[in-house]
Structure formats: C-alpha cells, structure tokens
C-alpha cells in the first residue's frame, strides 16, 4: 500500500483517502475514535507530503541532467518521421534514461522505436535501417537494460567487423550506461591477448569485439559465454561474408540455447537469409528501407580521366564548403599515395587503412574525430558504421565496385538525418558500375554542376 501511495503522485495524481468506515459507537468510543481519526489524518498528511517530495524528486533527476547543447541543424524525415514515442515509454532503468538524455537524445529515432520494445521482449531481430539513423542505440539500449549488473558474467556480446567500430560502439555503450554499473570491455585483433586475459579476471558484463578475437578467447576458455544470452551482430551482412562467417558460426556454438540474436545493418543481401533460417528462431523482421539512400545526401559524379583525378580533387577542395571530408580509395597503396599528393597540394589530411599499426590507427581515428584535421583519406576500413557527425562531404576518389559499399561509404556524411554531399570521380572504366549502382539503389547520381549551392549540404 505504502509503495502504491508513494507512486501515485508521480503520475500527477493526488493521494487518495481510504473510504471512512461508518460504525455506531457510544460517547467514549466516539472520543477515542475521533483521536484515532486525527492521528490518521496526521499520518495521511505526512504521507502526502512525502509523496509530493517523491514526485518532485522524480522530476528533479531530469532537472539535474547535464544535457549537451541542442543540435540545431536541419534533419530529414529519415530520422524525424517517428510514431512519437518517448524513451520513458519503455520503462527503462532510471540510470539508463539519464545516460540517454545526457547523450543529447531527446526521443527515439524510427529504428529505435521499432527495435527497443521488441528486443526487450527477448525476440530475435533482423533489422534494416538507413545509415546514421541510430541503429547503435537501437541495440545498445535494450542490451544495457537487460544486463543484471549484480551478476558478474558476460551477458551480452556485440560483434562488429572492424576494430575502430568496436571502439566506437563500446564508447557509445559507456556513454549511454554512464550511470549504470555495467562493466564494458572491448576486444579486437591488433591488441595484446595477454592484456585481454588480465582484464577478464575482472568483471565484464558486456563484450564488444571483432569475431576473430572473441572466438579466440572463447576457444581458449578465457571468456566464459555460457550466460551470454544476447548476441548482437552489427553490420550483420558484413559479419556474414566469407571473411567472418565461419568464426561467427563457431562462436554461436559457445552461447547457451536460450540466446537471443539481433542482426542490424543498412544492407541485407540475400546471403543473410541462410543464416537467419539456420540460427534465428521466430525472428522479428524490421525493414525501414523502402528507399535505400538518405534523403539528406546529394550525389554527384564528375567524369574524369585517371590522371586528372588529383587535379579534380584540388578543384573540389577549393570550391566546396567542407566541414570535414572522408575520401575513399580502393587500395591501401592508393590511400597512401593520395594522402601524400593532398599534402603536397597544401591541404591538411590524415590517412587510415588496415595495414597500419593499430596504435597509429587509433591515434588517427581519435584525432580526426576530434577535428584535428579536415580531410581523411581511407580504404574501406572506414566504410561501415563510423560515425563522425562533422563530416558533410564524402568523395569517392575511386568508385566502389558494389552497391552495398557505395551506400555505406556515402552514408558517412549526413549522419542522423543531416545534410551531406557525395562526389564520385568516374573514369571510363567505371561507367557501367555507376549505371548499375544507380539502378540497384534506385537513386540518381547527377553530373556535378559548375556551382553547388551550399544550402544543400551545409544547413
């Protein structure tokens, strides 16, 4: 009863009085009774005051949050077309809600509205939503909600295809779970196995990693996955490519039978179906991609000869209003060569690819994210999942060979429904790929005009 009374006012109600029992009594009884009622009224009053305190303190937690400044940039329907849910509708732990609001999230994006309640019920999910629309929080929020922080075992694994994405995703989990006592560990190739072993002597509730390293730890018996009831596969189609699929399938063998599997990506080629049929039970399918490309990104191509590409890039640099840019090349070698050329032209640039030392990769990733440099030249290492809100221009210095790669690359700009620009340098050899990718994605890549209105990618 007390509990219920304590609760009522937080929904805006007032404490209700119990109905008075009417009984016939003599004069003495009456006096006693009156005193009793008096005392009762006093207690009721005290209770009312405490309940009101509870009510105001239940609002106080919101008033005390450290909310970051509002992002006033224009946002497209890709993130604004929601059902109008609030994060509070999902009955999440107060501490988790605090982390969500302090991350600057006001209300759930469309993919979050769809996935969070379903993931909380324990169903398997295959979810498809556009780049930059908040898939990470769509699985991190239910994962953090479901973890029992008093049970010191690994309860959730989040698998991703690259080390940088693992670091980024773990960071998102740490930020969202800032007020929870959930222990999060990142484990990827390119780091010391010994350090991971040492770390696993301490409690870990949530493991974020790349498939090879996580499997290695499981096989060696260093990480115990028998209580890991949730497996998230972000960029699921990439994790199911030949490169990763065998490791992923072996890893699933270490999980308990009651595990829940969540697959997320912006692209789900047919190859994913086989895995779904084999490993997912009564999966819930969410597909928010009736169209594939982002509404906020304008896509252009410039028809060039190979030897004109650097000159063309120079012209783009001088004409465009670049906040930050990512420039993609198709090989590690070309990344390094181009970065050198750009520096010679007098523009600042970093580069990153998978053949660099991990410590160096980490530094470049960290510094570019913090805005230490305007341009980043990279290989497909940065094609998927990397979220740098300041990037408003993506340049395909080399045109990609398939539409999935194209979609993910251009999706590095226009994050969370913001505006962005994608410029593709197209050689004679690329002309069929350009046509095919346009067809496959049902999108239009227009010839670049002499002048580009800043309003279409800088608002």
Give dist(CA 221, CA 45) in Å, integer.
60
Residues in contact with ligand ATP, total (CB under 6 A)?
19
Which is nearer to Mg ion, 124 or 164 (by Cβ)?
A: 164
Residue pointed to by tokens 């009156």: 34
Contact 79, 416 (CB under 8 A): yes
Residue 108 binds which one of Mg ion, ligand ATP, none, with CB within 5 to 8 A depending on kind? ligand ATP
SS3 content of the chain, % helix, strand, coil (to 5): 45, 15, 40
Residue pointed to by tokens 């999060």: 184
Give dist(CA 305, CA 28) in Å, integer.
108
Query: What six digits make up the tokens of 71?
Result: 């992002």
Residue 414 interacts with Mg ion (CB under 5 A)? no
Kindly write out the interface string for residues 400-439 of this chain, putting x where it contacts ligand ATP by CB under 6 A and - elsewhere. -----------x---xx-----------------------
Figure out which of the listed residues 51, 76, 109, 155 binds ligand ATP, where binding follows CB under 6 A.
109
Q: Residues 6 or more apart from 109 whose CB is under 8 A from it? A: 79, 82, 133, 134, 137, 138, 416
Residue 133 binds which one of Mg ion, ligand ATP, none, with CB within 5 to 8 A depending on kind? ligand ATP
Q: In the complex, what is the shortest distance from the CB of residue 313 to ligand ATP, in angstroms, rounded to a whole number?
A: 24
Which is nearer to ligand ATP, 9 or 417 (by Cβ)?
A: 417
Q: Residues 6 or more apart from 148 whose CB is under 8 A from it? A: 155
Give dist(CA 304, CA 166) in Å, integer.
36
Residue 142 interacts with ligand ATP (CB under 6 A)? no
Q: Which of residues 215-274 bind ligand ATP (CB under 6 A)?
A: 266
Residue 385 interacts with Mg ion (CB under 5 A)? yes
Residue 238 binds which one of Mg ion, ligand ATP, none, with CB within 5 to 8 A depending on kind? none
Which is nearer to Mg ion, 9 or 211 (by Cβ)?
A: 211
Residue 387 interacts with ligand ATP (CB under 6 A)? yes
Figure out which of the listed residues 101, 105, 244, 365 binds ligand ATP, where binding follows CB under 6 A.
105
Q: In the complex, what is the shortest distance from the CB of residue 440 to ligand ATP, in angstroms, rounded to a whole number?
A: 17
Residue 177 interacts with Mg ion (CB under 5 A)? no
Which is nearer to Mg ion, 158 or 310 (by Cβ)?
A: 158
- To the nearest 10 degrees (0 to 180), the angle between helices 94-102 and 27-63 is 30
Give dist(CA 350, CA 193) in Å, integer.
28
Residue pointed to by tokens 């002048």: 451
Which is nearer to ligand ATP, 284 or 303 (by Cβ)?
A: 284
Residue 411 binds which one of ligand ATP, Mg ion, none, with CB within 5 to 8 A depending on kind? ligand ATP
Count of beta carbons in the 10 Å neighbourhood of residue 118: 17
Segment interacting with ligand ATP (CB under 6 A) among 127-135, 147-155, 240-248, 303-311: 127-135
- To the nearest 10 degrees (0 to 180), the angle between helices 163-176 and 358-369 is 50
Which is nearer to Mg ion, 339 or 386 (by Cβ)?
A: 386
Give dist(CA 54, CA 75) in Å, integer.
37
Give dist(CA 326, CA 378) in Å, integer.
7
Residues in contact with Mg ion, total (CB under 5 A)?
2
Residue 137 interacts with ligand ATP (CB under 6 A)? yes
CA R_g for the chain: 27
Q: Residue numbers of the site for ligand ATP (CB under 6 A)?
A: 105, 108-109, 112, 129, 131-137, 266, 385, 387, 389, 411, 415-416
Q: Residue numbers of the site for Mg ion (CB under 5 A)?
A: 135, 385
């Amino acid at each position: 009863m007390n509990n219920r009374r304590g609760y009522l006012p937080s929904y805006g109600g007032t404490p209700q009085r119990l109905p008075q029992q009417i009984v016939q009594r003599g004069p003495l009884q009456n006096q006693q009774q009156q005193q009793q009622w008096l005392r009762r009224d006093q207690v009721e009053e005290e209770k009312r005051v405490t309940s009101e305190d509870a009510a105001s303190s239940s609002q106080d937690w919101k008033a005390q949050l450290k909310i970051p400044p509002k992002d006033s940039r224009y946002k497209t329907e890709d993130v604004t077309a929601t059902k109008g849910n609030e994060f509070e509708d999902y009955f999440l732990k107060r501490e988790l809600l605090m982390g969500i609001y302090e991350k600057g999230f006001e209300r759930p994006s469309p993919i979050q509205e769809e996935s969070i309640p379903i993931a909380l019920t324990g169903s398997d999910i295959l979810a498809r939503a556009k780049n930059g629309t908040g898939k990470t929080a769509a699985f991190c929020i239910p994962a953090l909600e479901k973890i029992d922080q008093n049970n010191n075992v690994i309860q959730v694994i989040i698998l991703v295809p690259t080390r940088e994405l693992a670091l980024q995703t773990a960071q998102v989990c740490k930020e969202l779970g800032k007020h929870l006592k959930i222990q999060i560990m990142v484990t990827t190739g390119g780091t010391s196995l010994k350090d991971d072993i040492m770390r696993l002597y301490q409690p870990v509730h949530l493991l974020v990693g790349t498939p090879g390293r996580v499997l290695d730890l499981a096989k060696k018996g260093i990480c115990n996955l028998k209580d890991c009831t949730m497996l998230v596969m972000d960029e699921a189609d990439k994790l199911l490519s030949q490169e990763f699929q065998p490791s992923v399938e072996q890893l699933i063998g270490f999980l308990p039978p009651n595990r829940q599997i969540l697959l997320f990506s912006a692209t789900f080629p047919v190859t994913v179906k086989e895995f779904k049929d084999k490993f997912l039970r009564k999966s819930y399918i969410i597909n928010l991609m009736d169209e594939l490309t982002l509404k906020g990104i304008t896509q252009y191509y410039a028809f060039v000869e190979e030897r004109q590409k650097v000159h063309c890039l120079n012209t783009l640099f001088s004409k465009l209003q670049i906040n930050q840019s990512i420039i993609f090349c198709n090989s590690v070698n070309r990344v390094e060569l181009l970065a050198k050329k750009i520096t010679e032209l007098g523009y600042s640039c970093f580069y990153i690819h998978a053949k660099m030392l991990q410590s160096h990769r980490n530094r470049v990733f960290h510094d570019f994210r913090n805005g230490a440099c305007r341009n980043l030249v990279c290989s497909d290492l940065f094609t998927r999942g990397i979220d740098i809100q300041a990037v408003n221009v993506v340049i395909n210095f080399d045109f990609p060979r398939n539409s999935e790669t194209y979609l993910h690359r251009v999706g590095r700009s226009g994050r969370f429904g913001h505006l962005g620009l994608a410029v593709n340098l197209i050689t004679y050899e690329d002309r069929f790929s350009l046509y095919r990718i346009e067809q496959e994605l049902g999108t239009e890549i227009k010839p670049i005009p002499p002048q580009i209105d800043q309003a279409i990618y800088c608002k």
